[in-house]
Structures are given as structure tokens and as C-alpha cells.
């Protein structure tokens, strides 16, 4: 399985959320944690973000 990291802007685009919403979700423990790349750069594991999106879609379909 190839692992890919996503930058913040890619995460925001894929999830269709704002930076503020991303921050709130992270603080609440409701979003996959970022991986620290350097002291000034973080990224997210693509499949973890995709799983989060799929869960949100499934949840919305059940409501």
C-alpha cells in the first residue's frame, strides 16, 4: 500500500472545510492527527483523511 501525505490545503479542499473548522476538529479529537514532518511543516496521511470523509458520508446517509 502506497502511503501519501497531504498538505493542509489539500486536506481543506478534500474535506470542504475551513482552516478554522479543521483546527476545531483536531482540538476536539475528531480528526486524524497530523504527522510532524519538520518543525514548521505537518501533513496528514491520505488514507486516514479518506476514511474520515467516508465516515462523515456514511453518518450523513443514516440521518
CATH number at residue 18: 1.10.1660
Q: What is the pLDDT of residue 63?
A: 78
pTM of the entire structure? 0.90
- Cα dihedral 22, 23, 24, 28 sign: positive
pLDDT tens-digit profile of 2-61? 899 999 999 999 999 999 999 999 999 999 999 999 999 999 999 999 999 999 999 999
Domain tally for the chain? Answer: 1
Task: Say if residue 1's pLDDT is above 80.
Answer: no
- The domain of 58 spans 5-62
| Three cell numbers written together for 44 | 496528514
DSSP state of 7: -
Alpha carbon 53 to chain centroid distance? 8
Amino acid at each position: 500500500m502506497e502511503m501519501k501525505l497531504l498538505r493542509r490545503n489539500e486536506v481543506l479542499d478534500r474535506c470542504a472545510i475551513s482552516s478554522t473548522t479543521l483546527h476545531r476538529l483536531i482540538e476536539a479529537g475528531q480528526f486524524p492527527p497530523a504527522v510532524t514532518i519538520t518543525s514548521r511543516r505537518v501533513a496528514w496521511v491520505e488514507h486516514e483523511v479518506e476514511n474520515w470523509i467516508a465516515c462523515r458520508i456514511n453518518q450523513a446517509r443514516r440521518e
